[in-house]
Amino acid sequence: MATSQTQASQVAIIRKTLSELPAPSDYAPVTEAIARSTELGEAEITKTLSGLVSMPQSTTVFANPPLHAANVDCNGTSIELQIRSFSIRGLLSESEIVAGNVTPAYLIFVGLFGRLPQRDDVVDEELLIQSLIDKKFYQIAHTKQHGISGIKPISFHVAEFMKTFSQAGPEIAIQHIAMLHKAAYSKKQRQPRGFDDHRNSGYFLIRKIHVHMMNVAVGGMSTYMRYLLDDSPNLSEQELAEETCNFIEQHKEEGKTAFETCYSLLLGRKANDVEAKILERMGIIQTHHGSAASNVVARYMSTLHAVTISDFFNASQMILDGKRHFGAIHDMTAFIKELEEIPEGDQVRIVREKVMMGGLPTFGHPEISAAGRGNQIQQDPRAAIYLSPFFDAIDQKSLSLSNRQLERLKIVQRIYQIAFIEGLTKPDQEDRPPLRLTPNTDFGAWCVQEGLGVDDPDRTLLTYIFRGFGWIMDAREQLQQRIMRPVVAPHPDIIPAVDNDPTVPDQVVNVHNRLAEDEAFSPSG
């Protein structure tokens, strides 16, 4: 009897925890500005601001202002980098993540609930979220749903798709299975509940995590199946599904988290500890990405009440396919393939042309001043954050790169040197400082995944896995306060204070110095 009461108490606490929503923002800058201009008798200003009265209160999820400054040498010129920061809810800083003090589940909890996870004799809240994520991920491989060939396991439907479109990226496989899932509602002659203000917040959260982990599992299975098909093109759909499910089941039996299993699916083989650490840092940093277009769409889909939850994720993901997001990684792959076929002298000319035309993939940024001619330029630190443990692993000889990987990475290093270290000066502007571009997050993501051997079409999946939780964070805030504008200022309370923690700026400088040298991707010393 006592045991039953204890279990009932635990269930009640878990339900209460999952139903908890983060506190909405109380900072409304437009409303406050209208009040102040009215007080001052500035009628024209009040009138103008009144046209913006529907601007929402600020977001309490994410802030990324410039926080650090560091100087680097670019061909004898000292350039000051204004390094952007990263903070979730004002509670979790980028430096804590980089230092390895935070698990994915810990960060996800903070973003979803607006507070740090607690642990007591009844419930461990970090473990609660990780267990929920794992449960939803591992049950997908054997879950059955309607498809063109009938009601079969989702893994079989993915195998059918990959047999027909073996070079399609995971995002397309995700969309395909999501549409099958949506179409099944018509078969059952009922309407999906989708997004609805009146849904219980706890059950609604569970459902969003369920749908996202279904998509993650589908994307992971599709990448692993491509590796299997590369080795054995004649595998049947049934064999393809069974081998993939067995691979996933092995990881489950070994106690691997859903994230750890995804790292192996992404590599097409069991990820070792070094590879898992590199991929996990890369993923966790991408969980939330400010006012990026995908997060804006997530907010819109929330307010518009998406017909199905899968629509919410599909719409957000499809925006990431744009050339300034996911597409930049695919564009870099295509660009490297183009450069591989021509002499080095021509490579330099083409890279310079790309810089001047504003079409160099994985460089520049649509939302920060990542290009300029002066001695100060803003820097997205994520490329360096991804590359730092990767370089450490190379130096420790925990990773070995093939000749093809080294050649491709050497080209990417040369692009960095041309675009940022050397910069570009037009013939008629030789009296002006050179134009320089800093790399963005996709530069580091491309390099690391090239070095780990991730297949070309699969280099956006890791971002999708973690970014999906950022979208859920946005959705929970959106359903509370109706943020319908593309740019939402962060609440002042969540903007991190300037500190003297050198973790992030040191990594940015160290990675820059390494890329400035010869053979950056070979062991140093």
- Looking at residue 230, what is its pLDDT? 95
Contact 442, 289 (CB under 8 A): no
- Looking at residue 524, what is its pLDDT? 84
- pTM of the prediction? 0.92
Residue predicted with more confidence, 198 or 1: 198
CA–CA distance, 272 with 388 (Å, rounded to integer): 18
Nearest CA-CA partner of 208 in 108, 66, 59, 351: 108
DSSP of 61-94: SEE--EEEEEEEEETTEEEEEEEE--EETTTEEH
Would you mind telling me the total number of residues written for the chain in this entry?
Answer: 525
Helix (H, G, I), strand (E, B) or coil at 23: coil
Determine the straight-line distance between the first and last CA of the chain, rounded to whole angstroms.
66
Nearest CA-CA partner of 285 in 504, 15, 8: 504
How many other C-beta atoms are found inside a 10 Å radius of the C-beta of residue 78?
Answer: 9
What are 371-412's pLDDT values in tens digits?
788 899 989 899 999 999 999 999 999 998 999 999 999 999
Q: Grade residue 25 by pLDDT with cuts at 50, 70 and 90.
A: confident
Pairing of strands 371-372, 62-63: unpaired
Contact 263, 276 (CB under 8 A): yes
Mean pLDDT value of segment 146-150? 89
Mean pLDDT value of segment 328-341? 92
- Looking at residue 495, what is its pLDDT? 80
